[in-house]
A and B are shown apart, each in its own frame.
Chain A
Amino acid sequence: MRWGTRLRTLGLLLGTLAVAAVPVSGRAQTAIPAGEIIDKLSAAGDTTPDLDVAALKQQAADRVKAKADAQPLRRPLIAPLLTKLTQVRFDVLFDPDTSLIRPGSYGMIGSLADALSDPKLQPYKFLIVDHTESGGRRDANLALSQRRADSIRDVLVSTFKISGKRLVALGLGEEQLQDANKPAAPVNARAQIVAFGKPDVVEPKPAAPSAAAKKGAAPAKKKR
């Protein structure tokens, strides 16, 4: 009985110690560890992918405007090349229909910031791509995903001082469904961070500004 009491006391003390030694608790969303992000993204080589982001935005806007590929089940990917690039997919929770990041996802953004400021990833430039699942208006989804990608980028730049020159935001709405067999599945709303060459190597293509300046494309109007 006496030993039982002692063991219980020891257990309580160890429990107190364990709780006190781990100050960060109560995670609403489990962030992908920075080490895992670094390992995956640092596998990107020196080759710069042939991806014109401004043209891609325009292409997505044009497809939505023309109401082409109306059936989500048969809708081809707007950017098949994106799936082949070195990347990490992650979840960020937003307030419904806004680009406000939920406090439960702050840790995930912090983890991205840890990874992006690691020396192994410092030479690289990254594309932050946001998506939505299928449902509601396609044009609204496209604009919303661009605002959300911008929001993630803004937090990385303003809160964690990651250089804005290294980050490009892209919203693809429901034009790049990750699981086309289940267009409304939440997996389709996962964001991506894609290694996108080196800032000193990747210079803006001459055609990019003119493509971005074309009017009528909601995502192109978003702040940058």
Chain B
Amino acid sequence: MNRIRIALLVLAMCAPSLASAQALKFEEAATLLGASCGKDIDDNCRGVNFDPNRLKECLNRNQDVVSAKCQTDSTRAFSAITQRITARTTLMKLCNWEMNHLCSEFKTDPAKGLQCLLDSTKKATGNCNKAITAAGYR
């Protein structure tokens, strides 16, 4: 019984770090930001819309009064949004070989090119597959 308890305790302690290591969807990141920083935004950044630069700047400017949870979660949320956007913008570069060899007929059509890429993951290189995962397309 003690072993089970210890195993569960270790799992419980690891769960947050495992969860934070996973990339958040836009919805999850935005919800996290709204839930953790709603009061701080109301109190200190009233009038600032959901704009990453202005909102981040306002929360940073007021960090002496912004809650610790908001500081932690806003950093995580903004970082998750940026990571996903970067992963999406660099996807075609990282999957250049696949685009040239597997999806060349769709090179002029980004939407069809992306769909072709996602249909060709079994033949794609490891780097391209990693990039597809980082972009949140599966």
Contacts and interface: CB of A to CB of B under 8 A. Distances in A.
Nearest to B13: A20
B118 interface: yes
Contacts of A21: 15-16, 18-19
A104 interface: yes
Interface size class of A (residues with CB under 8 A): 35 or more
Interface string A88-112: 0000000100011111111101110
A158 B51 contact: yes
B26 to A, nearest CB: 4
Contacts of B4: 10
Contacts of B32: 23-24
Interface in A56-109: 95, 99-107, 109
B111 A110 contact: no
Interface of A: 6, 9-10, 13-14, 16-17, 20-28, 31, 33-34, 95, 99-107, 109-111, 113-114, 117, 119, 122-123, 151, 154-155, 158-161
Q: Give 8 nearest A-B pairs by CB, closest first.
A: A110-B30, A107-B31, A106-B34, A103-B38, A103-B34, A110-B27, A122-B111, A111-B27
22 contacts: A10-B4, A10-B8, A17-B15, A20-B16, A23-B16, A28-B34, A31-B31, A34-B25, A100-B49, A103-B34, A106-B34, A107-B27, A110-B25, A119-B111, A119-B114, A123-B112, A154-B49, A155-B50, A155-B51, A159-B51, A160-B26, A161-B89
